[in-house]
Amino acid sequence: MLTPILATDDPYEAATVFVKAGWSLVFQTPENSGDPLTVVGLAGAQLMLGTSLPQFLSAGSRPHKGAGVEFHLTVPEDDIDAVFDAHRQHADSVTELARQPWGELAFHAVVLGYKFLIAADHDDPG
């Protein structure tokens, strides 16, 4: 299993944004623990939300946070409309939910500067 750790200014506030966009809060360290970290999940996938302290994200890298990376996530087909609606209300930007040229029903979203391609998972009977 691969679980990315995303650098955020405030992991607790970042988790709130993801939860509003339809993700669930899986875990968080106590805010006064000295190790700020939260974990959010959607359709079995998890993201760790860490800090953007200089040892994790240098000042020179900040304008390029998330550059060149897009996370592909599949959700159950029955859930795609609700996930799309939640992201449309709370993500930084969202494209339309549409059939992609390669066949997936999906949309692109940017949440806290990170890019996601969220697609409906379906069983292909053919």
pLDDT in tens, 37-54: 999 999 999 999 999 888
Question: Does 75 fall in a domain?
Answer: yes
CATH number at residue 21: 3.10.180.10
User: What pLDDT shows up at residue 126?
Assistant: 41
What is the distance between the alpha carbons of residues 40 and 47, in angstroms, rounded to a whole number?
A: 5
Question: Does 58 fall in a domain?
Answer: no
Q: What is the mean pLDDT of the chain?
A: 92
Question: Does 126 fall in a domain?
Answer: no
| pLDDT band of 122, cuts 50, 70, 90 | confident
What is the distance between the alpha carbons of residues 53 and 5, in angstroms, rounded to a whole number?
A: 13
Question: Does 84 fall in a domain?
Answer: yes
pLDDT digits (tens, 9 = 90+) for 1-47: 789 999 999 999 999 999 999 999 999 999 998 889 999 999 999 99
Rounded mean pLDDT, 113-124: 87
Beta strands in the chain (DSSP E): 5-8, 24-28, 38-42, 45-51, 70-76, 93-94, 98-99, 105-111, 114-121
Structural domain harbouring 26:
5-53+65-121
CA distances from 62 to 65, 66, 90 (A): 5, 9, 22
For residue 15, how many C-alpha atoms fall within 13 Å in the half-sphere facing its CB? 23
Question: Does 71 fall in a domain?
Answer: yes
Question: Does 18 fall in a domain?
Answer: yes
Phi and psi torsions of 109, nearest 5°: -140, 150
What is the distance between the alpha carbons of residues 42 and 74, in angstroms, rounded to a whole number?
A: 9
The total domain count for the chain is: 1
The answer to whether residue 66 scores a pLDDT higher than 90 is: no
Question: Does 108 fall in a domain?
Answer: yes
2 compared with 80, residue with greater pLDDT: 80
Question: Does 28 fall in a domain?
Answer: yes
